[in-house]
């Protein structure tokens, strides 16, 4: 992972929530909320909460009595999340998933949507989740499957190779879609001290947008891929975005587009 892969700052948080959340994150947020709703919980911790799409899904799915604490490494993402209506009180707190500022056994569930790929030491982060769980509590997280199973992200990555052939931006393949091997996930969960074998479900969904420019904008402007593009040539961001839109249009059409997305959903009890 490059240092820029974890930088969600400037206009990225707002663009992330405006474009990327409805494009790829909302279906899995609903899935997480429904899985958690089937369990008996009174206090839930969310790590790597981003702009709060799962926070909002949990706020809708869980009873009012359930306390929700949502954390992220990037304060800018939390600031964006706090602007959105959750419909109930949520405690927003800046925190590093590698060093959680909570006592042992504080939560009935720890939830993480598409954040584990960014952890520099995954077994250590998973061990922190286990530490703050009560006995019998659940760690519920998801990660993207390989990039070839996520069509818009794959098309954007290939399009940018033509713009920067000598040094193509590989953020999407390297980090968001770089932690997809089920055996590696299970190995890291076990290395974190979870005695139970994790349940891993591979869940496919659809990513829909009104035009090819929306996924191009989402990935090129609303993720750290933008940092990579601008590091190569800050004047070519618009050109790169247009190339991504053309590539998506060539495959999916110039009107409304519909592509496959796929992720692994992991549940393991402490």
- pLDDT score, position 3: 59
Distance CA 28, CA 244 (A): 24
Q: Is the pLDDT of residue 2 over 70?
A: no
pLDDT per residue as tens digits for the range 156-206: 999 999 999 999 999 999 999 999 999 999 999 999 999 999 999 999 999
Q: In terms of CATH architecture, what is 3-269?
A: 3-Layer(aba) Sandwich (3.40)
pLDDT band at 9 (very low <50, low <70, confident <90, very high): low
What integer is the mean pLDDT of 63-83? 95
- pLDDT score, position 1: 66
Q: Is the pLDDT of residue 5 over 60?
A: no
Q: Is the pLDDT of residue 6 over 70?
A: no
pLDDT per residue as tens digits for the range 121-150: 999 999 999 999 999 999 999 999 999 999
Q: Is the pLDDT of residue 110 over 90?
A: yes
What integer is the mean pLDDT of 245-262? 98
């Amino acid at each position: 992972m490059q240092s820029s892969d974890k930088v969600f700052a400037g206009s990225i948080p707002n663009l992330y929530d405006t474009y990327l959340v409805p494009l790829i994150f909302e279906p899995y947020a609903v899935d997480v909320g429904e899985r958690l709703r089937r369990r008996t919980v009174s206090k839930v911790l969310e790590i790597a909460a981003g702009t709060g799409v799962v926070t909002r899904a949990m706020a809708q799915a869980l009873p009012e009595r359930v306390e929700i604490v949502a954390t992220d490494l990037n304060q800018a993402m939390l600031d964006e999340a706090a602007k959105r209506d959750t419909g109930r009180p949520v405690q927003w707190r800046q925190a590093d998933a590698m060093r959680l500022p909570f006592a042992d056994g504080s939560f009935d569930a720890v939830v993480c949507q598409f954040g584990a790929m960014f952890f520099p030491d995954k077994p250590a982060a998973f061990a922190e989740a286990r530490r703050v769980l009560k006995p019998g509590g659940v760690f519920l997280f998801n990660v993207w499957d390989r990039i070839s199973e996520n069509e818009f992200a794959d098309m954007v990555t290939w399009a940018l190779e033509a713009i920067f052939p000598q040094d193509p931006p590989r953020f999407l393949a390297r980090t968001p879609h770089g932690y997809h091997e089920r055996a590696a996930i299970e190995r890291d969960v076990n290395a974190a001290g979870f005695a139970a074998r994790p349940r891993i479900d591979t869940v496919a969904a659809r990513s829909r947008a009104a035009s090819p420019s929306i996924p191009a904008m989402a990935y090129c402007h609303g993720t750290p891929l933008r940092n990579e593009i601008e590091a190569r040539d800050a004047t070519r961001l618009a050109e790169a975005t247009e190339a991504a839109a053309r590539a998506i249009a060539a495959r999916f059409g110039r009107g409304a587009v519909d592509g496959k997305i796929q992720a692994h959903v992991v549940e393991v009890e402490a």
